[in-house]
Amino acid sequence: MENARGNCIKYGDNVDTDVIIPARYLAIQDRSLLATHAMEDIDKDFHKKMKKGDILIAGKNFGCGSSREHAPQVLKDSGVSCIIAESFARIFFRNAINIGLAIVESPDAAKEIKEGDEVEVDFSAGRIRDISSGKSYDMAVFPPFLQDMIDKGGLIAFVNERLEKK
């Protein structure tokens, strides 16, 4: 799995799926257009600040609320390369993996990394390095099959590739 490297945009605790992508936009079929509305109810400048490859930092229970897959998908479509949080809502966690969005639980990193810091996440080594502050943090390493699933773009692509090999 390739390392993620980018600047950080930071949010607090309990950011729910209705904030990540407000329900009023869910009828939009164009994913790039839908992504322009990500996080707008708590950060009107999110789409302007977000650059491809940037990293979201969040507090506890990120992605709580409904089980809609739109939430991690719009973040991925916005250019988010990874989300580091103190903790994730269980369904958001699974949906993110299913669509190939890298997510990492690291309470210390989530608390200490500041908005705008440049961060590199080494998924294979289980290390988060805050380039701006010089600090490093440990994280759990995904098993190889999950790293492969994320690399392939999610569960469907992962399964399709395995079926093609048979």
Tell me the C-alpha distance between 44 and 120, whole Å. Answer: 26
Domain ranges of the chain: 4-165
In terms of CATH architecture, what is 4-165?
A: Alpha-Beta Barrel (3.20)
> pLDDT (tens digit, 9 = 90+) per residue, 14-70?
999 999 999 999 999 999 999 999 999 999 999 999 999 999 999 999 999 988 889
pLDDT confidence tier of residue 161, bands split at 50, 70 and 90? confident
Of 102, 104, 34, residue with least CA distance to 71? 34
The pairing of strands 127-130 and 55-58 is unpaired
The pairing of strands 118-122 and 4-10 is antiparallel
Residue 165 predicted with pLDDT over 90: no
Amino acid code (one letter) for 47: H
Backbone φ and ψ for 55, nearest 5 degrees, come out as -120, 135
Instruction: Look up the pTM and report it.
Output: 0.94
DSSP state, 73? H
